[in-house]
Amino acid sequence: MGDILVGTCSWTDRRLVASGWYPAGRRGAEGRLRYYAERFPVVEVDATYYALPGERNSRLWAERTPDGFVFDVKAFSLLTGHPTRSAVMPGGLPADARDPGVLDEVWARFADGITPLWQAGRLGSVLFQFPPWFRPGERAEAFLAATARRTEGWPVAVEFRHPAWWQEGRSEDTAALLERYGMAAVAVDMIQTLPSSVPPTAHVTSSRLSVVRFHGRSAAWGTGSKEERFRYAYSESELAEWLPRLRALAERAEQVHVLFNNCCGDAAVRDAAAMARLLGPADPTPTAAAAPPSAAQHLPRRRAAAPPGGESER
């Protein structure tokens, strides 16, 4: 049975900080992370989607967290086909993923930025969250193949936002595609009454890792503001629906990361704590999803094809 690690998709969200969940004296950058890591064994880094990660921050995150704690790092927007602001591009580079030189430089800087986490054994996964218009087809499959070449040796998780990937009649092909590249399929929990709803299909496509992200079940998912889309608190019965599936995933994967993305106020941390309680006692020292290389090594970097363009959701 693999380890099931439960956490949230941010520890710095301003609504969480404003909710009062962090006690007085623990609301600075270091205090927040240490306080969070005392309560959960995994967290997702959302900031690396909006701007390239820095080695200094990654080093500090590793220093401020205990052995066994891991970070799931979201891939930078340019690398997943989302629009990217020129202001966050390094060295004045254009935000043009069609330029091989630009893309190579961005990949190199992204890899350098997360290398301290890798070296410290704190890198749980790199999450590639593809946009809603990234639909099944030859172009998407070619891009996945290019991403696999670029990220060979990385612990990679893939979340599709177009529902066709996991619909009946296509689901097994999608799982086989990810399994071919050793990429972990991300299962999602979200409202199921919208045309954009992704089915809550849970496949194990990597023996190392499986990931489940809880987005909440807000009816405003497709139309509301960011706060409205993620404003949701799960009931205990809704969380309990997932217990058999989570345990089934853990039967086949070394680690299962269960991450709550309903980051509105303290809903995510409360739901994560409730899920951990429902799952029962866990191994206090879970193993990292991937063993780190020696301190002299960096994450491998390879050339990738340019991704299609698009826009983001958390």
Q: Measured between alpha carbons, how far is 183 from 212 in angstroms, rounded to an integer?
A: 14
Q: How does pLDDT run across 55-87, given as a tens digit for each residue?
A: 999 999 999 999 999 999 999 999 999 999 999
> Could you tell me the pLDDT band of residue 300, with boundaries at 50, 70 and 90?
low
Sequence letter at residue 191? I
Q: For position 2, what pLDDT does the model report?
A: 92
Q: What is the pLDDT of residues 9-53, one digit of tens each?
A: 999 999 999 999 999 999 999 999 999 999 999 999 999 999 999
Lowest mean pLDDT among 62-66, 127-131, 137-141, 227-231: 227-231
Mean confidence (pLDDT) of the chain = 90
pLDDT number for residue 314: 58
310 falls in which pLDDT band (50, 70, 90)?
very low
Q: What is the pTM of this model?
A: 0.90
Residue that has been written with the tokens 């217990």 in this structure: 243
| Number of C-beta neighbours around residue 276 at 10 A | 20
**Residue carrying structure tokens 């063993």:** 291
Tell me the residue ranges of DSSP E strands in the chain.
3-8, 42-45, 70-74, 123-129, 156-159, 184-190, 209-216, 255-260
- Of residues 305 and 241, the one with the higher pLDDT is 241
> CA-to-CA distance for 165 and 18, rounded, in angstroms?
37
pLDDT at 223 (0 to 100): 80
Domains of the chain in sequence order: 3-279 (3.20.20.410)
Closest CA relative to residue 270, chosen from 190, 217, 214: 214
211, β-bridge pairs: 186, 257
Q: What is the pLDDT of residues 205-228, one digit of tens each?
A: 999 999 999 999 998 887 877 778
